[in-house]
Amino acid sequence: MEDDCLVLYVNGERFEVCDADPSTTLLEFLRSCTPFKSLKLGCGEGGCGACVVLLSKYDSALNKVESFNVSSCLTLLCSINGCSITTSEGLGNSKNGFHPIHQRFAGFHASQCGFCTPGMCMSFFSALVNAEKTNRLEAPSGFSKLTVSEAEKAITGNICRCTGYRPIADACKSFAADVDLEDLGLNSFWRKGESKEAKCSRLPFYNPKDHACSYTEKPGDEYGSIKLFNSKKYSWYSPATVEELQQLFHSDAVSSIKLVVGNTANGYYKETEKYDKYIDLRYIPELSVVKKDESGIEFGAALTISKVVLHLKEQSKANLRSSGELVFNKIADHMEKIASGFVRNSASIGGNLIMAQRNYFPSDITTLLLAVGSSVSILSGNKHEKISLGNFLSRPPLDPKAVLLSVHIPLLKPTTGDGLVQTNATLLFETYRAAPRPLGNALPYLNAAFLADISSVKNGILVNNIYLAFGAYGTKHATRAGKVEEYLRGKILSVRVLDEAIKMVKCTVVPEEGTSYAAYRSSLAASFLFEFLNSFSGLGSSISGGMSEELNDLLLEGAGKFSNDGTMNPSETMPLLSSAKQVVNSSRDYYPVGEPMPKFGAAIQASGEAVFVDDIPSPPSCLYGAFVYSTKPLARVKGISFKSHPQPTAVISVKDIPKEGGNVGTVSIFGTGPLFAEDVAKCAGDLIAFVVADTQKNANLAAKGAQIDYDTDGLDSPILTVEDAVKQSSFFDVPPFLYPQQIGDFSKGMAEADHKILSAELRLGSQYYFYMETQTALAIPDEDNCMVVYSSTQCPEFAHRVIAQCLGVPEHNVRVLTRRVGGGFGGKALRSMPVATACALAAHKLQHPVRIYLDRKTDMIIAGGRHPMKITYSVGFKSDGKITALHLDILINAGMTADISPALPTNMMGVFKKYDWGALSFDIKVCKTNLTSKSAMRAPGEVQASFIAEAIIEHVASFLSMEVDSVRNMNFHSYESLKLFYGSASGESIEFTLPSVWDKVARTSNFQQRISMIEQFNRSNIWLKRGISRIPIVHEVMVITAPGKVSILWDGSIVVEVGGIELGQGLWTKVKQVAAYALSLVQCVGTEDLVEKVRVVQADTLSLVQGGITAGSTTSESSCEAVRLCCNVLVERLAPLKEKLQMQMGPVKWDALILQAHSENVNLAANSFFVPDPSSTKYLNYGAAVSEVEVNILTGGTRILRTDIVYDCGQSLIPAVDLGQIEGAFVQGLGFYMQEEYPTNSDGLVIANGTWTYKVPTLDTIPKQFNVEVLNSGHHEKRVLSSKASGEPPLLLAASVHCATRAAIKEARRQLKSWGALEGTDSTFQLDVPATMPVVKQLCGLDSVETYLQTLLSTS
């Protein structure tokens, strides 16, 4: 049956689609063909959650509608015929009223830039909807049936780069039936100390019946009658039987066929070619069936992973005592760590196995199923066969027309060698995975599944049978460790047997050549096998009263102590985060400034109504662009050609720049940078051309298909390292006014030292911004040779100048508009300019609107990111730890253009001087290399400098065998030394709050008591070690200039314009409050609610000039001061009129005053330009943090148990916003110090170019307990309303986690030494940044298990 159109419902609205490419995704359709823009493209891989929607479909077998969240960037439009889609706008909106989810996200300050928020809301809404369908007890009024743990896990697959997650988790937990409202953090609903009843009454009320969305509840009239979608026109087919499927395979000579279930493979294996036929397998009964019998469970291959998990858990609940059912439960638990919920809801079990078989995908599922002896059914032509999974994996890649029909997981029972069932035996099954994120959404370094059949005999534990499967470690597919199995089979366990098995497994699990962290992966195999076999040591008594004394005595007392509950992993039902304290001390001196009001626009950000650049509807005849970049570091570009389909509409390069213009892509105080490579591409990632096509998808495909002809004859070798740059004397000049001053006499300081460390070395890598919104712009040609450009930028003024220079037009012919930015972190400053300029150039040449939204891979390759560095230091110090002299040689890798790099030396020293180094000298060189230009990234140079300072302190402490906290104290500044190091920036002595902050964080975190508790823990735990660290920060910032404009309209409402850009940091909210405060000084009736009358509008470079750059943490306060100056002028103008009216009619209302002022032609618009006083341009920020971590010696995994921060915000303008900045900055710093690897290949081309390979922190990797105090340090005369910066300084405090990890590793190495190890036990060692699992494990000992077993053998 042919269908001309497919039908779907979006937020209850019916859409008929009669012309769609079968490769069109739901995301593409919704964003281009409907008014609903809440879902965002964050990665295109199913890895970030920004595009999540709720999909509701009718299940004819169950006669009900099932609803679940899916990743719309992967879901094919043709696959959802007859389905209903709910987006965040469909939950609620500004017109019809917001949903309680939106209101609570706003009230808990859980949205900053807002780009990720709608996706978060939909992930959580899906959990709410499905919790209500369970048979649990009814929840208390206003709450849902969700548990706190489920509420947290609902959003673990969603990425947020701004908030640090804690407030998002609180907003979600506020719906949970078992929540303790006392545990929830700062919000705008209740004040501290209010009763539970009062708190419940103030929460936006949630009623499952009113807030479920009708279109997710009941099947509509059309649901039951929707036919399977088959369309020759679309080349989309939905066979209903296996026979129909075979007919489609053989119907004609089709060259390419795509079999579709969830299309999630496209997130990993990006498709650039279109297929001749798309065949949807979900409606063939054999592929969706679940058969349960005594032999096990058979799953149709098209069943989603989520449904497989559900059936396995149901089967386990039905037969709790059976060991075979427990196997099902453990497989299900492990499967829930694969990808994220919104991917598992679409991805099929068969698709996962096919990817592993054909493409060698590092699958977890193949490993699990291999260990339990699963089998698969395959249809190839007319041949139907059932084979073991091992056989299936080892065959040549399956033919494209072969179909995996089903997967059989056996119900296991203990058996003897001849297959008879054993009654006195026990079946044990465990699964393991070591991955950068505990709860999934990350590929593992190695996964494993072990099945053992054991029984108790007179002299110990007998291994009757054992299966050991390992996967994802750098081989083509999961494998069984056959030789190890054979060795263990029939053995009675002992330390010697364990030792031999561990040695054998390390020789068996060997990654292929070129696999990253190969030795680490082999070490993990040994660790997991040890953990599994060791778990038998506690089972002797439970099996039949007794086991080998040798094994029991030697292992149970030691290796068995993984943690307090005897397991390595925390309970699945426990919440991820425990209660946390947020202490804010607000002031009412400048009301409403300081009130914890929700961020301006937070609710519309949650509902998805907030408009980002890519949400602006495309103008008629709009074209779309994509960049072609070099993949070589220094090469002549001879030409570019394109594959046949799709051909670009136009290709814009350096040759298309008008002769009046120039090849300019960036501008800063250090000069300009090129838009395009000219004859020679200077680096991998250098922009060569801008291709233009009719859709963004076609532009991207054309760019990916570009063939570049390179030539390197006669060119020098590229400079890729700082060492190469030094050899070639390739440096950028640092202007003298930006080069910091040395302090004291280094030679004299070294002469005074008792000890010296000479020429120690540190290296630091790069970090990617991972703003959720990639670089984007829209350029529209206007009359009279003018150009209007919408850009997601932190510096519209500079973008404006660059565009004008490139096009060769006067600046008044260009207008740049920026409303909001979906995350910036410095990456939307200079790096956004070439994107806007390329769009403007293409629009200028083609006389069509042109827009671009960079795909994540291109963005990551051309972004540049944070500056890598090499540091060499020599330090002299006394025996008590006091440092007398320090010299640093710092080589900064700046990439191919200056960008902001010459500013880094002064940035670095502004933070590095946080300790009294005695004499400080340095030589800092900014190296010019053939890498992408490194640029400003949140706390540029400062985050590195803070780490360098701590690394030196740690080194000195290790050298002297002193407690590192004592060495920190010994080198703490006095006010006198602070003045010596920082000069006038140190302010008055009363402003030096660091000593009190330092003492306070120790007190509130119970620092000293916890040191003793950690020592005790480490003594009684072999395989888990804890560490704790306290660090300070001193962060010098510079107050920047800022313009402002305030206009009062006829009805008394107020419009404010500022140069500062809203990036999520709450700038608009602070400006609103300051405007309300400053205008209230006119002292009218009604000014107490003035904040509701203020609207801040988008930046417009022709309306407000000299907007500058939003960076450096002080733009908010400068913008506030500019607005205050405007308001002061307006109050001055209004005051005489108010006095006159007051004398005539008594108290004057605000609205009446303004109406009269308009009537009397009072000028009600004021402009200002704030320039800070030279004496107070720079000031210091202070903070301190204590962090405690737990390191797993077997895997190298690090859990952050607790972080306590005390941060001096002066008199915070909005404590809630500043708290969000502190937490968000800290978590971003956590990424740099602990998780985020941004490597390049040998040509300097970035290879971590998506969510599969680049891992930012997620909810499951932040501190379990996260306590923050925003200190109100009172009146600061020279600060804006006594406030201080909060955007960047707290990021540096994340180094406390790195230092705590170092302390835990030190304990592990001390233990290793006690076992007699000769290597890797020195207490002085370098912990790399980031301190990833392989790095930590290597320092704890890749052979720690073998060393331990050898110790046991030698003592026995």
pLDDT band for position 572 (50/70/90)? low
- Determine which helix (DSSP H) or strand (DSSP E) holds 892, and give its type and residue range: strand 883-895
Question: What rounded mean pLDDT belongs to the chain?
Answer: 93
| Number of neighbouring beta carbons within 10 Å of residue 1 | 8
3-state secondary structure of 715: coil
CA distance 829 to 792: 9
Averaged over 1237-1244, what is the pLDDT?
A: 97
CA distance 625 to 203: 46
More confident residue, 548 or 48: 48
* CA distances, 1120 to each of 1042, 1211, 1282 (Å): 9, 14, 12
In tens, the pLDDT along 714-761 reads: 999 999 999 999 999 999 999 999 999 999 999 999 999 999 999 999
pTM for this entry:
0.96
In tens, the pLDDT along 1019-1040 reads: 999 999 999 999 999 999 999 9
Report whether pLDDT(1) > 60: no
In tens, the pLDDT along 1154-1172 reads: 999 999 999 999 999 999 9
- State the pLDDT at residue 318: 72
- State the pLDDT at residue 557: 40
Nearest to 886 by CA among 853, 910, 861, 922: 922
CA 1215 to chain CA centroid, Å, is: 24
Strand ranges in 230-342 using DSSP code E only, listed in sequence order? 236-237, 257-260, 277-280, 290-293, 296-300
In tens, the pLDDT along 294-327 reads: 999 999 999 999 999 999 999 877 766 667 778 9
**Residues 6 or more apart in contact with residue 234 via CB below 8 angstroms:** 20, 21, 22, 78, 278
Contact 83, 15 (CB under 8 A): no
Indicate the burial class of 19 (C-beta count within 10 angstroms; 0-12, 13-18, 19 or more). exposed
- State the pLDDT at residue 1002: 98
Contact 171, 110 (CB under 8 A): yes
In tens, the pLDDT along 206-217 reads: 998 887 776 655
- State the pLDDT at residue 214: 65
- State the pLDDT at residue 270: 87
Averaged over 155-164, what is the pLDDT?
A: 96
Averaged over 696-703, what is the pLDDT?
A: 95
Nearest to 635 by CA among 682, 676, 596: 682
Strand order in the sheet with 425-434: 425-434, 446-457, 460-471, 479-480
In tens, the pLDDT along 90-124 reads: 999 999 999 999 999 999 999 999 999 999 999 99
Averaged over 586-594, what is the pLDDT?
A: 84
CA 485 to chain CA centroid, Å, is: 40
- State the pLDDT at residue 445: 97
Report whether pLDDT(905) > 60: yes
Report whether pLDDT(60) > 80: no
Report whether pLDDT(560) > 60: no
More confident residue, 586 or 689: 689
Contact 34, 53 (CB under 8 A): no
- State the pLDDT at residue 542: 42
| Number of neighbouring beta carbons within 10 Å of residue 483 | 14
* Percentage, residues of the chain above pLDDT 90: 84
In tens, the pLDDT along 336-350 reads: 999 999 999 999 999
Residues of the chain by 3-state class (helix, strand, coil), percent to 5: 35, 20, 40
CA distance 1294 to 1225: 9
Contact 30, 10 (CB under 8 A): yes
Q: Which residues sit opposite 451 in a β-bridge?
A: 429, 467
- State the pLDDT at residue 417: 52
Report whether pLDDT(234) > 90: no
Contact 851, 620 (CB under 8 A): no
- State the pLDDT at residue 1064: 95
* Percentage, residues of the chain above pLDDT 70: 95
More confident residue, 260 or 543: 260
pLDDT band for position 1229 (50/70/90)? very high
In tens, the pLDDT along 1334-1351 reads: 999 999 999 999 999 999
* CA distances, 847 to each of 623, 689, 698, 816 (Å): 10, 18, 20, 18
Report whether pLDDT(568) > 70: no
- State the pLDDT at residue 401: 86
Nearest to 1100 by CA among 849, 712, 814, 1301: 814
3-state secondary structure of 681: strand
Q: Which residues sit opposite 1266 in a β-bridge?
A: 1203
In tens, the pLDDT along 440-453 reads: 789 999 999 999 99
Place of tokens 């920026």: 818
Averaged over 986-1007, what is the pLDDT?
A: 96
CA distance 943 to 29: 42
In tens, the pLDDT along 1044-1092 reads: 999 999 999 999 999 999 999 999 999 999 999 999 999 999 898 899 9
- State the pLDDT at residue 1160: 96
CA distance 997 to 984: 21
- State the pLDDT at residue 550: 53
Query: Token pair for residue 110?
Result: 């859980």
CA distance 358 to 375: 17
Contact 1355, 467 (CB under 8 A): no
pLDDT band for position 420 (50/70/90)? low
DSSP codes, 1189-1201: EEEETTT--EEEE
pLDDT band for position 630 (50/70/90)? very high
pLDDT band for position 547 (50/70/90)? very low
Report whether pLDDT(1356) > 80: no
Indicate the burial class of 740 (C-beta count within 10 angstroms; 0-12, 13-18, 19 or more). middle
- State the pLDDT at residue 569: 47
Compute φ and ψ for 919, nearest 5 degrees. Answer: -100, 135
